[in-house]
Amino acid sequence: ARSHRDHDEL
Amino acid sequence: MNIFRLAGDMTHLMSVIVLLLKIHTIKSCAGISLKTQELYALVFATRYLDIFTDFISLYNTIMKLIFLASSFSIVWYMRQHKIVRRSYDKDQDTFRHLFLILPCLLLALFINEKFTFKEVMWTFSLFLEAVAILPQLVLLQRTRNIDNLTGQYVFLLGAYRALYILNWIYRYFTEPHYVHWITWISGLVQTLLYADFFYYYFNSWKNNVKLQLPA
């Protein structure tokens, strides 16, 4: 599942 | 978090601090492209839509707030501040940012990881960030005289994304399933756009001469 951690970069 | 990403974020932070210091202390924005600053404000506004919905870490949230606040205050300074705005060279800073915004928006509608509003906005912000420096590079070519702070600002801005590329390589080899082609390619394009600037910046530093870009 796509966690929101996918966009954990600035 | 790895050393490359931390170094990249700190370099990015330094670039906005250098610019804010320049504008705030000498009350001048000579040589700075307002178009690029407006594009960066749009980049952060569309990239950090999830700042209040997806909490990742305190560091992440604080840095997002800093980048949002600094980019919008730089735009405010250059448009509203009665002294700073006088040093803005609007006759030279003529790059029409719509020519950058529309293609990035269209591209983000076709190339994205998930067709949702937030994801398309996030992808749009990646593509836009890759080209946001163009009005600034055009302005530097036109005005030719690049003062030290502006040169340092552009250099740090380019260096941060180059460090991010090292971060992506590191994460690719250390984290399974960490694959983000869209991010990687737009980050690479962004860094390549600075390549000629880096070349002239390094040479001017090596030969200890004033930074001049070829006409």
ipTM: 0.86
What SS3 state is found at B210? coil
Domain boundaries, chain B: 3-205
Task: Find the closest chain A residue to B45 by CA distance.
Answer: A10
Q: What is the mean pLDDT of residues B31-51?
A: 97
As a whole-number percent, the residues of chain B with pLDDT over 70 amount to 100
Residue A5 has pLDDT above 70, yes or no: no
- Using 50, 70 and 90 to split pLDDT, how confident is the model at B215? confident
Contacts of A4 in chain B (CB under 8 A): 50, 54, 56
Q: How far is residue B124's CA from residue B118's CA, in Å, rounded to a whole number?
A: 10
Distance (Å) from the C-alpha of residue A10 to the closest C-alpha of chain B?
Answer: 7
Considering only CB atoms, B50 lies closest to which of A4, A9, A10, namely A4
Q: What is the pLDDT of residues B111-124, one digit of tens each?
A: 999 999 999 999 99
Contacts of A10 in chain B (CB under 8 A): 9, 12, 60, 63-64, 67
Q: How many CB pairs under 8 A join A and B?
A: 24
CA neighbor of B80 nearest in space, from B34, B18, B143: B34
